[in-house]
Each structure stands twice: as C-alpha cells, then as structure tokens.
Amino acid sequence: MGERLPLSNGWLYRYWVIQHLYAQQLEMHQNKCQRCDDRIISISQSYVRPIIRGKQNKLVEFGAKISVSLTGDGIACVDHLRWSAFNEG
C-alpha cells in the first residue's frame, strides 16, 4: 500500500482539482475543441461553472444561479440555488 501524501486536506483537495483541470485541458487540446462537461475554471473555487447566457454584452456568466418566488404575504423564498445552469421556466 502506498504512503500518504504529507499534505493537509485543503492542499490534497487542490491537488485533486489541479489533476482534473489538467485532464480536462489535455482532453480539449487533443480533441481540438473548446468545450468540456463540468469544466473547472478556478482552482480555488472549483464548484463555479460557466453559464452560457447569450446576452449581447456578456455571452458567459459565472457564479450561482438563483430562482426566487414570492408568497401571498410578499415574502421572498429561494426555490433553487445552484452553481450550474438550470431551466428557469
């Protein structure tokens, strides 16, 4: 059995993220494409995903996407809060 790496859990997670980021970049380079499912765009915030919006000034947005509804009393309730794209309808 192999030895444990002398890194804290935070550094081990970043090491894992960097390995996956490298694998994604290598796959895109070898396939000569610019798209990858669940593409990692930040090592420190690996849960953030690009959301294709198609707006005139901003084609791609980053960050959480939120869906909010109002109750009859005027209170706002968060229905969905996700870091990946979802249908708002």
pLDDT at residue 30 in the model: 94
Q: What is the pTM of this model?
A: 0.58
Encode pLDDT of 41-84 as tens digits. Answer: 778 877 777 777 766 777 777 777 788 888 888 899 888 888 77
Judge if 61 and 86 occupy the same domain: yes
Judge if 34 and 53 occupy the same domain: no
Which residue range is the domain that position 6 belongs to? 1-38
Judge if 34 and 57 occupy the same domain: no
Report d(CA 49, CA 83) in Å as an integer: 6
Encode pLDDT of 12-45 as tens digits. Answer: 888 889 999 999 999 999 999 888 877 887 788 7
Judge if 75 and 55 occupy the same domain: yes
Overall number of domains in the chain: 2
Report d(CA 78, CA 69) in Å as an integer: 7
37, 13, 83, 24: CA torsion to nearest 10: -20
pLDDT at residue 40 in the model: 82
Judge if 29 and 55 occupy the same domain: no
* Element spanning 65, H or E: strand 65-70
Judge if 59 and 26 occupy the same domain: no
Judge if 54 and 33 occupy the same domain: no
